[in-house]
Amino acid sequence: MNYRHSFHAGNSADVVKHSLLIALVQALQLKPGPLTLIDTHAGGGLYDLGGEQARRTGEAAHGVMRAFADADPLLDDYRAAVRAVNRLEEPHLYPGSPRILAQLLRPQDVLILNEKHPEDAYALRGAMRGTPAAVHERDAYELWLAMLPTRTPRGVVVVDPPYERTDERARISATLAAAHRKWAHGVTVIWFPLKERAAHQRWKDKLQRLGIPKFLGIEHWLYDAEQTGIYNGAGLFIVNPPYAFTQALPPMLHALRATLAPEGHRGEITTEWLNV
């Protein structure tokens, strides 16, 4: 499954991912100590919702536009992050994770971004101009390990690949195991698309065998029944989520599902600890 950011900017997966990423970083920032934020697959950083690639899929209509039409205050921080890159009330630009993380930075925090695709890396540097972010153009998995342990005592690694390669999940699993050996207390966020439930369960089983404690899985299934061969949602694996984040998670997930459920489908957002 190919998942280039520019084609899917502002879709339902982005709403879930970015709402939870904001909540996660804010929970970590309840403590004053500095954070290092690392995005291994940063993409272009900023996307034109009226551009040819985004218009081709039209997915923002079922994601960010629904979130803006909803008045639930639990989505206020997400909407504020999108408004921050737009001059008008209705979003025309969509911030990727790099721009959202840059908004969350405190003076003591560090932001490291990486994008291997040359065109996207060029766009990323332009999108991050004026921010303190360091931008790299390296293999994501090599950079992931090279940056650990972080120079600050605490940190977050965001792994958000396009899943263009058939071995993407295997590379994530192997690198996560190595990263956990180097940085057992660190927070890692891994985004994934959902398609067939059986295939996803096989990957979860392999990840569970890594024996990583405090390993949370969040899955947003869009449709009630299996939709053979098509995109059916997305989710996050989070290693070492902070307590304040997990306590606030149930109402946030309820709000997201109420906003994003396709017409005629209840679907579900589930959470599961993979270390049990």
Which of 3-17, 40-54, 106-120 has the lowest average pLDDT? 3-17
- At 67 the pLDDT is 96
Q: Rounded mean pLDDT of 166-186?
A: 97
- At 221 the pLDDT is 92
Q: Is 205 exposed, middle or buried (0-12, 13-18, 19+ CB in 10 A)?
A: exposed
Query: Residue 144: is its pLDDT beyond 80?
Result: yes
Model-level pTM? 0.95
- When the pLDDT of each residue in the chain is averaged and rounded to a whole number, the result is 93
- At 276 the pLDDT is 59
CA dihedral 97, 71, 255, 264 (to 10 degrees): -110
- At 264 the pLDDT is 77
Tens-digit pLDDT profile for residues 207-229? 999 999 999 999 999 987 666 66
Q: Catalytic: which of 160, 167, 205, 224?
A: 160
Domain boundaries, the chain: 5-273
Query: Residue 164: is its pLDDT beyond 80?
Result: yes
Calpha distance 239→274 (Å, rounded): 10
- At 1 the pLDDT is 42
Q: Catalytic residue at 160? A: yes
- Give the residue from 249, 245, 247, 244 showing the smallest Cα distance to 219: 249
Instruction: Provide the residue type at 19 as one letter.
Output: S
Q: Could you tell me the strand order of the sheet in which 134-136 lies?
A: 134-136, 110-114, 35-39, 154-159, 187-193, 233-239, 215-221, 268-273
* CB under 8 A, 24+ apart: contacts of 243-250: 243/27, 244/27, 244/30, 245/23, 245/24, 245/27, 245/28, 246/216, 248/23, 248/27, 249/20, 249/23, 249/218
Query: Residue 4: is its pLDDT beyond 70?
Result: no
The whole-angstrom distance between residue 52's C-alpha and the CA centroid of its chain comes to 23
The superfamily (CATH) of domain 5-273 is Vaccinia Virus protein VP39 (3.40.50.150)
